[in-house]
Amino acid sequence: MTDTISDMLTRIRNASRALLPEVTIPHSKMKESIARVLKREGYIVEVSVDGVKATKAIKIKLKYNGRKSIIEGVRRISSPGLRRYTGSQDVPRVRAGMGTSILSTSEGIMTGVQARKKNVGGELLCEIW
C-alpha cells in the first residue's frame, strides 16, 4: 500500500457509514497524530494505541448523534503522486468554517485554524466535515 493516510481515512469513512462503534488501523506516528487532532476537534470519542512494536494498532471510537455519524465526509487532498502545499495565509476554509482542514507543518500535525494562528504553512493532508 502506498498511501496509508488515505487508507486510514477510508476505514474511518466506511466504519462511520456502517455505524460501527470503533475501527482499528495499523499504527504509524502520523496516523496517530491525525487521530489525536480528530479527537481534539470532536469528530471521534477516543484514540488508543494497542500492541507492541511491530504489531501496534490504533483503535478509534467513533462519535454518533443518535443514528447519524458526526463525520459527514472526509477527503484526501495531498497524495503521494501529487503533493499539495499551502502558505499560512492561503489555508482553505472547509465548508465555510463548518469543517476542518488538517496540515502537516514544521511544528507538527495541526488544523488549518491553528496553522493560521501560528503563521505556518505546510502540506494539506485532508479535509473533514
pLDDT score for 74: 96
In this prediction, residue 53 has a pLDDT band, given cuts at 50, 70 and 90, of confident
43 alpha carbon, distance to own chain's centre: 9
Fold held by 74-128: Dna Ligase; domain 1 (3.30.1490)
Q: How far is CA 20 from CA 13, 17, 23, 28, in A?
A: 10, 8, 7, 22
> Is the pTM value of this prediction over 0.85?
yes
Mean of pLDDT values over 11-24: 97
Q: What is the mean pLDDT of the chain?
A: 96
pLDDT digits (tens, 9 = 90+) for 64-96: 999 999 999 999 999 999 999 999 999 999 999
pLDDT at 99 over 90: yes
pLDDT at position 57 is 97
Query: What is the reported pLDDT for 54?
Result: 87
| Cα separation, 106 vs 125, whole angstroms | 14
Query: Residue 1's pLDDT is what?
Result: 74
What's residue 60's pLDDT?
A: 98
CATH topology of domain 4-69: Ribosomal Protein S8; Chain: A, domain 1 (3.30.1370)
Helices (H), the chain: 4-17, 29-40, 112-118
Would you list the domain boundaries of the chain? Answer: 4-69, 74-128
In whole angstroms, give the CA distance from residue 29 to residue 49: 10
